[in-house]
Chains A and B, each alone.
Chain A
């Protein structure tokens, strides 16, 4: 595998095939736990651990898993990593674990994870599978951070719990409530697509 190919496998998840902004997968954690930057970081890290770990195992074992039982086996592998992540978070950062609550366990059903096993890890050797998973994790992490920090700045007037605007700031409470997740995600998707359209238009203009 050439370095360029490896680089491509890694970076495609960050921009070109970003799991949240382009594939619009994994919306449940994206909307539910991004009311603060800290929660976004914890969710992104837990998802990255599960995604990279399960992609590696699935890819390493892909020749031994008969295709008739592959989904069941993938789910067992994913659920194992999720449960380990759940226990480790509860032991290391109980406060964050309490905030994220059931959403850690719900990583099992995050479409990004099973999607990568089916689309990539199940048919590629371990190295590209891990690179692909790492790229997707970084893309997901960036997306969660965009939402989490925007919502925390607007909704609580702070970032990572550090107040930004002083005591006179009246928090825009709806931003940390569920509707705020939809509003910010909608805004970011709009921006993302606008940038993409402009890029395409410019390319079309250049070639014409």
Chain B
């Protein structure tokens, strides 16, 4: 009996369920409205930032290039696509110099590092079958040790002219073969991870690329908004 009384008494000064529900619904709606507005304002800026960063990275790993084309692999053939096009096909980037000559591919690949995934981009020249540049896009390797995969100039320089055949190999006692990479002291796992990610990228792409000299032509300047001002003079 007292229980029933208490409940009824308690209810007297409590707001109704409708009021509670309305408060929550209203705050949810208000929040949704604010968020969709903020999303609309920031999304194009974020997308533009990302595209710019990627193009800058491609120009960096393909030396001598000043224009970038996006190439999707469809039914075994590389098809140029628009930078804004969303696709589930694997995408590779082509780097071209001012005269429109093909300078190399940029391949994006990711794999497990020491702590977390390493995302990187590397340049590949099909004429010489060599890696011509490498840049880490995202990683969480140990500061001071594993992060030397992008902070140490001498390690990054390993990838400026590196044969991909038979396979990129990490060595600890100095590089004396064209396909060897000198490991970072104290960060062998991170060094090996970088080599492995590139080898995996090569295993996927090298069989699908057209014969050297038959690469897709440079994109028309109109199809490359921002590429020129983003590139090197």
A residues lining the B interface (CB < 8 Å): 35, 64-66, 68-69, 72-73, 76-77, 79-80, 83-84, 87-88, 90-92, 94, 98, 155, 171, 173, 176-177
**Contact between A173 and B144 (Cβ–Cβ < 8 Å)?**
yes
Residues of A within 8 A of B53 (CB): 94
Interface string of B189-227 (1 = CB under 8 A from A): 000000000000000000000000000000000000000
Q: Decide yes or no: A68 and B15 within 8 Å by CB, A80-B31, A87-B46 being known contacts.
A: yes
**9 nearest A-B pairs in the assembled complex, by CB-CB distance:** A173-B144, A91-B45, A87-B42, A80-B31, A91-B42, A66-B15, A84-B38, A76-B27, A176-B143
Partner of A87, one of B19, B27, B38: B38
**Contact between B142 and A177 (Cβ–Cβ < 8 Å)?**
yes
**Contact between A68 and B14 (Cβ–Cβ < 8 Å)?**
yes
Residues of B within 8 A of A68 (CB): 14-15, 20
B residues lining the A interface (CB < 8 Å): 14-15, 19-20, 23-24, 27-28, 30-31, 34-35, 38-39, 41-43, 45-46, 49-50, 53, 138, 142-145
Partner of A98, one of B23, B38, B41, B138: B138
**Contact between B28 and A171 (Cβ–Cβ < 8 Å)?**
no
**Contact between A83 and B23 (Cβ–Cβ < 8 Å)?**
no
Partner of B46, one of A65, A90, A173: A90
The closest CB in chain B to the CB of A172 belongs to B144
Closest beta carbon of chain B to A104's beta carbon, Å? 13
Closest beta carbon of chain A to B133's beta carbon, Å? 21
Partner of A84, one of B14, B35, B143: B35
Closest beta carbon of chain B to A79's beta carbon, Å? 7
Partner of B35, one of A80, A90, A155: A80
Q: Decide yes or no: A66 and B42 within 8 Å by CB, A76-B31, A83-B35, A98-B138 being known contacts.
A: no
**Contact between B138 and A73 (Cβ–Cβ < 8 Å)?**
no
Residues of A within 8 A of B15 (CB): 66, 68
**Contact between A88 and B38 (Cβ–Cβ < 8 Å)?**
yes
Residues of A within 8 A of B49 (CB): 90-91, 94
The closest CB in chain A to the CB of B45 belongs to A91
Q: Decide yes or no: A173 and B143 within 8 Å by CB, A88-B42, A91-B42 being known contacts.
A: yes
Partner of B27, one of A35, A73, A91, A171: A73
Residues of A within 8 A of B145 (CB): 173
Partner of B20, one of A66, A83, A84: A66
**Contact between B38 and A72 (Cβ–Cβ < 8 Å)?**
no
The closest CB in chain A to the CB of B48 belongs to A91
**Contact between B42 and A80 (Cβ–Cβ < 8 Å)?**
no
**Contact between B34 and A66 (Cβ–Cβ < 8 Å)?**
no
Q: Decide yes or no: A73 and B23 within 8 Å by CB, A90-B42, A171-B144, A176-B143 being known contacts.
A: yes
Partner of B24, one of A69, A79, A87, A91: A69
A83 vs B33: C-alpha distance when bound (angstroms): 12
Residues of A within 8 A of B43 (CB): 87
Residues of A within 8 A of B30 (CB): 80
Residues of B within 8 A of A90 (CB): 42, 46, 49
